[in-house]
Amino acid sequence: MLSVHDLTVSIGPETAPLDIVAGVSFDIAKGEILGLVGESGCGKSMTSLAVMGLLPQPGPRVRAGRVLLEGSDVTQLQPWQRVEAGHGRMAMIFQEPMTSLNPVRRIGDQIAEAVKVHDGTSGAAALLRARELLELVRMPDPAMQLSAYPHQLSGGQRQRVMIAIALACRPQVLIADEPTTALDVTIQVQILGLLRELCNRLDMAILFITHDMGVIAQLADRVAVMYAGRIVETAPVEALFDRPRHHYTRGLMDCMPSRNSGARRLPTISGQPPAPGTVGAGCVFASRCAGVREPCRVASPPRTGVANGHEVLCAFPLNGGVAS
């Protein structure tokens, strides 16, 4: 459904570009959720904006690579141009729904507006569809909520409204950028459940971006781990949690408190991620890696397939937790 090849997003002048996303590739099939996980500044949000065709202007730009939607190249097209060219549809939801909703307009009107844009239907029909969408996102009492204002809803309900608006264009690909980070855990579990259900029912491809390994384990079918603008490991979710092959992935899992409760100290990853532009030759993770060897510092590591659908960007990948 969605296929990203060697995507490179850069800032700075043409002559000396700084790559904040460097050669990212992944595919998402219909009915599949790909979890893109990484820490702040690793380039995961930039990747999603580039895929969506929504990079802020002026600023970062796609310097190389392609984004294919159902086989059509949409890399340089804005979302509406993609729709006009008949290349299929993508929608996006964000972390803070309040900033994306108009505070002085009723929920129903805001959803209906999105419906009108995409379906070309008018007044009553659009409102009817808005109500269907609210039912689809399992909003309690949808008929009533059509006339509510955003501030009258809870954080979880607002996120449901955002999902409803995103669904108005009948997207084939939904990009969710940390949609549950601002929510309480009891609400988060509901929204995650909803996304899983919608993915299955509507046969959508979902790119789910998060920093939370727990959320990834709960929701994703496959996982891409991102570090310093690169995807360092891709694997089916069970394989990744069962046998992380990249030292960074392993480090991220180890330092989660919930995997360690009772331990006196948490394992940590020393140091900090490199700033864009400070990446020299060699592996981007070399300076923080527990299993670093001499070649890592001089040559970029190869992308190796270690098992079916399991790739790792490491010259000396972990083997079941022990360096090979």
Partner 1 sequence: MSGDAILEIRDLKVSFRVRRAGRKYQVQAVDGASLSLAEGEVLGIVGESGCGKTTVGRSIVGLVQPDSGAISFRGGEMIGAGGTKLREMRLNVRMVFQDPYASLNPRRTIGDAVAEAGDINGFFKSRAERSAAISATLTAVGLDPSFAARYPYELSGGQRQRVGIARAILPTPSIVIADEPVSALDVSVQAQVLNLMMDLREELRLSMLFISHDLGVIGQISSRVAVMYMGRIVEQAATRAVLDQPLHPYTRALVAAIPKPDPTKRILGAIETGEPPSLFKRPPGCAYAARCPLASDRCLVDVPQLRPAGTDGRAVACHNV
**Contact positions vs partner 1 (CB under 8 A):** 39-40, 140, 154-157, 184-190, 192-193, 196-197, 211-220, 237-238, 241, 251-253, 255-269, 272
6 vs 197, which CB is nearer to partner 1?
Answer: 197
Least distance from partner 1 to the Cβ atom of residue 291, Å: 16
Least distance from partner 1 to the Cβ atom of residue 61, Å: 26
93 vs 114, which CB is nearer to partner 1?
Answer: 93
50 vs 269, which CB is nearer to partner 1?
Answer: 269
Least distance from partner 1 to the Cβ atom of residue 60, Å: 21
Q: Are strands 33-37 and 205-210 parallel, antiparallel or unpaired?
A: parallel
Least distance from partner 1 to the Cβ atom of residue 98, Å: 13
Question: At what angle are helices 123-136 and 155-167 packed, to 10 degrees?
Answer: 120
35 vs 53, which CB is nearer to partner 1?
Answer: 35
Least distance from partner 1 to the Cβ atom of residue 270, Å: 8
Rg (CA), the chain: 21
Identify the CA nearest to 138 among candidates 177, 183, 195: 195
Least distance from partner 1 to the Cβ atom of residue 218, Å: 5
172 vs 249, which CB is nearer to partner 1?
Answer: 249
125 vs 255, which CB is nearer to partner 1?
Answer: 255
Say which residue the tokens 């299929």 belong to: 88
Contact 235, 317 (CB under 8 A): no
266 vs 298, which CB is nearer to partner 1?
Answer: 266
Least distance from partner 1 to the Cβ atom of residue 71, Å: 30
Report the C-alpha gap between 197 and 164 in whole angstroms. 14
Least distance from partner 1 to the Cβ atom of residue 9, Å: 21
Q: Which helix (H) or strand (E) holds 305?
A: strand 303-307
Report the C-alpha gap between 31 and 201 in whole angstroms. 8
101 vs 220, which CB is nearer to partner 1?
Answer: 220
Report the C-alpha gap between 236 and 216 in whole angstroms. 11
Least distance from partner 1 to the Cβ atom of residue 260, Å: 7
Contact 198, 167 (CB under 8 A): yes
70 vs 212, which CB is nearer to partner 1?
Answer: 212
Distances (CA, A) of 257 to 246, 261, 263, 269, 322: 20, 6, 9, 13, 21
Report the C-alpha gap between 77 and 270 in whole angstroms. 41
Helix (H, G, I), strand (E, B) or coil at 202: helix
β partners of residue 28: 2
Output 142-149 pairs: Cβ under 8 A, ≥24 positions apart.
145/107, 145/108, 146/106, 146/107, 146/108, 146/111, 147/106, 147/107, 147/108, 148/106, 148/107, 149/103, 149/104, 149/105, 149/106, 149/107
